[in-house]
Structure 1
Amino acid sequence: MTQIEFHFNTTERLQYVCRLLRKAHGRYLRVGVVGSEASLRQLDAALWAFSEVDFLPHSTAADAPQIQAASPIRLNPDPLQLSGLDVLVNLGDEVPAGFESFKRLIEIVATDDHGRMTARQRWRHYTAQGYALVQHDLSKAAAS
């Protein structure tokens, strides 16, 4: 069964996702990131500018299929195009189709009202399906 985590109260969402992807890449995990085309374009730009010393190899849906297949980090608005990866990171508002084929799903929840409302809907969906959810309150981590 897929392990589902909610990382909420992310104030700098793109920077947080970049750090999360760096950590996953360091553990040799293959990660898919799903969300709106606009948020994935912003993440793509953030990954290129994230660090002067870390390169996070990634691809987008616009890249050639062989580049996508070789990329340990894949950004795609269609979660069904991300099969065969270890982890799925959701930046979208909806429950990603096919999430149950991943070992792990990480829901990134911003601090705005819209982000919280849609995250609550996804939370209810997963619990209704019998998933035990793990929550990480990033405001508590920042206060430590």
Structure 2
Amino acid sequence: MTDILFYHLQNQPLERVLPVLLEKSVERGWKVAVEAASPERVEALDALLWTYSDESFLPHGTDREADAALQPVLLTAGPDRANGASVRFLVDGAALPADMEAYERIVLMFDGNDPDALDQARSSWKAAKAAGHACTYWQQDENGRWGKRA
């Protein structure tokens, strides 16, 4: 059974939240794949992860690079996980993977201000629960702290 975490973004954009969660994943020794909706978005996230903080370095690469298998954080626009990731982040409406059970954890991040993203997250929740996976729902409070709501 895979743990599937739903992160409802309301008070902070993905660009502020994703690097922090990826840093925590790397600190735990997890290999991660981040799936975005398009190759252009992968490039934008790649640029973000190189520049989001002057105080830290987040080792990562894209699935287009020759050393993709060596990356602790791999950015992709498809189902690839050349780095053997056990954790998958889904952003920008990326769908739950067909092989959900191949992961220890899936993190689905969605924009709570976008009605279509909310609908897609609800459908993904229902599908994951129906498949027997453990789902949790996380939402930010007004101070930007995450709280488990379900």
Q: Is TM (by shorter chain) over 0.5?
A: yes
Give the equivalent residue in structure 2 for 1:71. 71
- Provide the rounded CA distance (Å) in 2 between the counterparts of 1:61 and 1:74: 6
Aligned AA for 1:26?
E
Give the equivalent residue in structure 1 for 2:15. 14
Kept in 1: contact 2:68–2:83 (CA 8 A): no
- Unaligned runs of 5+ residues in structure 2 are none
Quote how far apart the aligned CAs of 1:81 are. Answer: 3.3
Kept in 1: contact 2:74–2:83 (CA 8 A): no
Give the equivalent residue in structure 2 for 1:85. 85
Kept in 1: contact 2:70–2:83 (CA 8 A): no
Q: What's the CA shift string for 1:67-99, capped at 9, x where partnerless?
A: 111110001122243462121101134222322
Give the equivalent residue in structure 2 for 1:102. 103
Aligned AA for 2:64?
A
SS in 2 for 1:57: coil
- Provide the rounded CA distance (Å) in 2 between the counterparts of 1:106 and 1:137: 13
- Provide the rounded CA distance (Å) in 1 between the counterparts of 2:73 and 2:61: 6
Give the equivalent residue in structure 1 for 2:45. 43
Instruction: Give the stretch that moved more between structures: 70-79 or 2-11.
Output: 2-11
Query: What is the percentage of aligned positions where both structures have the same residue?
Result: 28
Q: Scaled by the length of structure 1, what TM-score is found? A: 0.88
Number of residue pairs the alignment of both structures matches: 142
- Unaligned runs of 5+ residues in structure 1 are none
Quote how far apart the aligned CAs of 1:117 are. Answer: 1.3
Query: Residues 143 and 51 from structure 1, CA distance in 2 versus in 1: closer, same or farther, beyond 3 angstroms?
Result: closer
Instruction: Give the stretch that moved more between structures: 83-92 or 16-25.
Output: 83-92
Query: Residues 139 and 93 from structure 1, CA distance in 2 versus in 1: closer, same or farther, beyond 3 angstroms?
Result: farther
Aligned AA for 1:7?
Y
Aligned AA for 2:21?
L
Quote how far apart the aligned CAs of 1:118 are. Answer: 1.0
Give the equivalent residue in structure 1 for 2:62. 60
- Provide the rounded CA distance (Å) in 2 between the counterparts of 1:82 and 1:58: 13
SS in 2 for 1:114: helix
Query: Residues 5 and 143 from structure 1, CA distance in 2 versus in 1: closer, same or farther, beyond 3 angstroms?
Result: closer
